[in-house]
């Protein structure tokens, strides 16, 4: 699948992968900040933004999509940065195609299953995305459906800055939500020597000490940095702290 992307800057390549219901646009501030020293490609994952639609959203398939982009653009071993679902895609890529990934950074996600914690949210997201939820009140704001998805998906404190892209192919995403909240079982038996920098929002429940332990078997060179006063969308809540953290991570690539 040929993914859409936005490119800016010149230098060593960096690939940015967004989270669920977002798009390349959610990375524009970070991309501009990193573009003074890197060529930054902000990618629309399948079923998001301007990228093609598909029924399946398996992490191995989405990793192959990104691998095809890296090869098509002759990026060599790119630094790959992913938020939430994009972070899981980045980890799947590093495990399945280690020759294509140099430095790896994941934001507020672990290679763990979130089904148990997110069961209620999954059902609400499915109903919202497929139109099965309650009808909006007469005269309600037409953006209320988008805002509802954002508030279900993200900690409430971050929704004021959340980038929810309504071009997302909601039915396919809804059908894939249980798989997206998991991590491929077969990949758990693989190991990547890539230096993984995990960035965690202090106010987010997504990466607990237990889930952080899931990095070690697959990514023995993982480190974790906690960003104060940030929720799940670290790049919305603390953009300057996030960019500083990413700069430090990228500087160790060379």
**Helix %, strand %, coil % for the chain, to 5?**
45, 15, 40
Q: What confidence category does residue 133 fall into, taking pLDDT thresholds of 50, 70 and 90? A: low
Task: Say which range, 131-135, 186-190, 221-225, 233-237, has the weakest mean pLDDT.
Answer: 131-135
Number of neighbouring beta carbons within 10 Å of residue 150: 21
Q: What confidence category does residue 219 fall into, taking pLDDT thresholds of 50, 70 and 90? A: very high
- Whether the per-residue pLDDT at 201 is higher than 80: the answer is yes
Please indicate whether residue 1 or residue 141 has the higher confidence score (pLDDT).
Answer: 1
List, in order, residues 6 or more apart from 122 with CB less than 8 Å away: 115, 177, 178, 181
Predicted local distance difference test score (pLDDT) of residue 140: 46
Q: Quick one: average pLDDT of 46-75? A: 96
Q: What confidence category does residue 156 fall into, taking pLDDT thresholds of 50, 70 and 90? A: very low
Q: List, as one string, the DSSP characters of 89-111.
A: HHHHHHHH-GGGEEEEEEES--S
pTM above 0.95, yes or no: no
- Whether the per-residue pLDDT at 185 is higher than 70: the answer is yes
Q: What confidence category does residue 9 fall into, taking pLDDT thresholds of 50, 70 and 90? A: very high
Mean pLDDT score across all residues of the chain: 84
Q: Do 81 and 15 meet the contact criterion of CB atoms below 8 Å apart?
A: yes
Q: Quick one: average pLDDT of 83-102? A: 97
Q: Which fold has domain 5-251?
A: Rossmann fold (3.40.50)
Predicted local distance difference test score (pLDDT) of residue 120: 56
For 236-245, the CB contacts below 8 A with 24+ separation are: 236/158, 236/161, 236/162, 236/163, 237/157, 237/158, 237/161, 237/201, 237/203, 238/201, 239/29, 239/30, 239/33, 242/30, 242/107, 242/199, 243/30, 243/33, 243/34, 245/197, 245/199
- Whether the per-residue pLDDT at 7 is higher than 80: the answer is yes
């Amino acid at each position: 699948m040929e993914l859409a992307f936005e490119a800016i800057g010149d230098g060593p390549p960096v690939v940015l992968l967004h989270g669920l219901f977002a798009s390349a646009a959610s990375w524009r501030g970070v991309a501009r900040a990193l573009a003074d020293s890197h060529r930054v490609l902000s990618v629309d994952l399948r079923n998001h933004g301007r990228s093609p639609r598909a029924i399946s959203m398996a992490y191995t398939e989405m990793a192959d999509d990104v691998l095809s982009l890296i090869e098509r653009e002759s990026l060599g071993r790119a630094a790959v940065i992913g938020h939430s679902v994009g972070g899981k895609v980045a980890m799947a890529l590093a495990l399945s195609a280690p020759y294509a990934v140099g430095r790896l950074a994941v934001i507020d996600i672990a290679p763990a299953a979130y089904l148990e914690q997110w069961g209620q949210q999954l059902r609400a997201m499915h109903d919202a995305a497929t139109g099965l939820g309650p009808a909006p009140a007469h005269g309600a704001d037409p953006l209320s459906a988008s805002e509802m998805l954002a508030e279900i998906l993200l900690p409430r404190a971050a929704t004021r800055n959340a980038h929810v892209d309504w071009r997302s192919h909601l039915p396919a995403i809804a059908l894939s939500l249980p798989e997206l909240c998991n991590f491929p079982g077969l990949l758990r038996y693989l190991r990547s020597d890539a230096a993984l920098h995990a960035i965690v929002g202090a106010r987010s429940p997504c990466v607990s000490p237990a889930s952080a332990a899931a990095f070690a078997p697959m990514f023995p060179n993982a480190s974790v940095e906690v960003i104060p006063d940030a929720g799940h969308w670290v790049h919305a809540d603390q953009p300057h702290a996030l960019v500083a953290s990413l700069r430090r991570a990228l500087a160790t690539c060379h």
